[in-house]
Amino acid sequence: RVADQMAAVVEDVRRHCLAVRGAAPPPRIALIEWIEPIMGCGHWHPELAEAAGGICVTGDMSGHVETMSLADLVAARPDVIIFGPCGFHMARSVKDLGEAAWLKSPEWAEMPAVREGRVWVADGLTYFNRSSPRVVETAQIVAEAVWPDLSGLWGHRGATLLTLEEAMGGMATQLREAHHSQPGFTNAATVQQRPAVDSGSNLKRRGCLPDA
């Protein structure tokens, strides 16, 4: 059954993350679903952070998510930052990140996660914005971003997950050009790399933009 497969994938993620984390405190994870203004993630996203051995510092399971300033994000002290903007595949996310003035500010540059190269861009539309069976693969993506020892274990690193530096350097465009559709659920033993493509989604139509 699909539910059993999903539970097995999540348990696999938990087991690997607990093994590499050991006795260390849980890393603080910022999951970002919108860029201008900055918005965190609620609903099921804190559970993704928990499955990866961390805690989400940009939202809770109530589903209500406030916009935040860069100062708010700095104050949250994230160890890892993952961008998965609502309705966007990776290439479109990279375009918007390149236009975000706050990403060029000294406050952003001085954040530990930024200095240490622990800022990531993921395929938000496919993996982060839909409450489908594929969210268990999202847990894998978060785990690969959080734990260097798990990087690439489930095939996401370099495909559906890039560092911000890699994404801004053109890898997202290369992945877009190599895109091929792979619909449906796959378990941990058969996860394939899924290059991203710019969908050109209308975010207002999808209801992803915050209220004015």
For residue 188, pLDDT over 50 is answered with no
Residue whose C-alpha is closest to residue 124's, from 182, 82, 153, 156: 82
pTM: 0.81
Cα–Cα distances (Å) from 93 to 5, 19, 82, 98, 110, in that order, read: 30, 32, 12, 9, 22
pLDDT in tens, 137-187: 999 999 999 999 999 999 999 999 999 999 998 755 555 554 444 443 333
What separation, in Å, do the N-terminal and C-terminal C-alpha atoms of the chain show? 43
In the chain, DSSP assigns E strands to: 28-32, 38-39, 55-56, 67-68, 80-83, 119-122, 161-163
> What is the maximum span of the chain, computed from C-alpha positions, in angstroms?
50
User: What is the chain's mean pLDDT, rounded?
Assistant: 83
| Residues 128, 132, 137, 142, Cα dihedral to 10° | 30
Question: What average pLDDT does this structure show over 35-55?
Answer: 94
Instruction: Supply the pLDDT for residue 173.
Output: 54
Return the bridge partners of 68, or none.
38
Looking at the chain, the whole-number percentage of residues with pLDDT higher than 70 is: 80
- Residue range 101-133, pLDDT digits in tens: 999 999 999 999 999 999 999 999 999 988 888
| More confidently predicted of 66 and 195 | 66
| Long-range own/partner contacts, residues 127-135 (CB < 8 A, 24 or more apart) | 127/84, 127/160, 128/31, 128/33, 128/41, 128/45, 128/84, 128/86, 129/33, 129/84, 129/86, 129/87, 129/208, 131/43, 131/44, 133/2, 133/5, 133/6, 133/185, 134/185, 135/44, 135/48
